[in-house]
Amino acid sequence: MALSTTEAEYILAESCCAQLLWMKQTLLDFGMKFDEILLLCDNESAVKIATNPVQHSRTKHIDIRYHFLRDHVNKNNIKIDGIGTDNQLADIFTKPLHECWFCKLRNELNIIDFSNVA
């Protein structure tokens, strides 16, 4: 169980990293090669833990198996970067949004609005 939001986000990013590496290998089987894959995380502290190779006293409780992400960031297989709240596409699936914000995110996902189609 995670002790903090940062730890929970870091563990989730590690899980996403494993899935991205699996997809990278699968696409390689079809002849598509990717050098570095971008993983976007909305928690800046989790991004800093993943990119900083130094073990701090505040991160010593994070289990070693979750540093899989940090290892792949260091190997340049994965690039982790922060994403601001304004650009978080997942919000359309997880939060109640104002209509204009919902329409903006819907457009970014290339979802067509059929309510105006006759």
CB proximity list for 49: less than 8 A, separation 6 or greater: 6, 10, 59, 62, 70
Q: Are residues 74 and 44 in the same domain?
A: yes
Q: Are residues 31 and 89 in the same domain?
A: no
Give the tens place of pLDDT for each residue, 56-110: 556 666 766 667 888 888 898 999 999 887 778 888 888 888 888 888 888 888 8
* DSSP reduced 3-state for 17: helix
Q: Are residues 79 and 89 in the same domain?
A: no
What is the C-alpha separation between 25 and 118, in angstroms, rounded?
44
- Which contacts of 84-88 are long-range, i.e. CB under 8 A and separated by 24 or more positions? 84/42, 85/42, 88/42
**Prediction pTM value:** 0.72
pLDDT at site 29: 93
Q: Are residues 66 and 101 in the same domain?
A: no
Q: Are residues 23 and 61 in the same domain?
A: yes
Write out the residue range of the structural domain in which residue 75 sits: 5-83
Domain count, the chain: 2
- Whether the per-residue pLDDT at 1 is higher than 80: the answer is no
Q: Are residues 76 and 97 in the same domain?
A: no
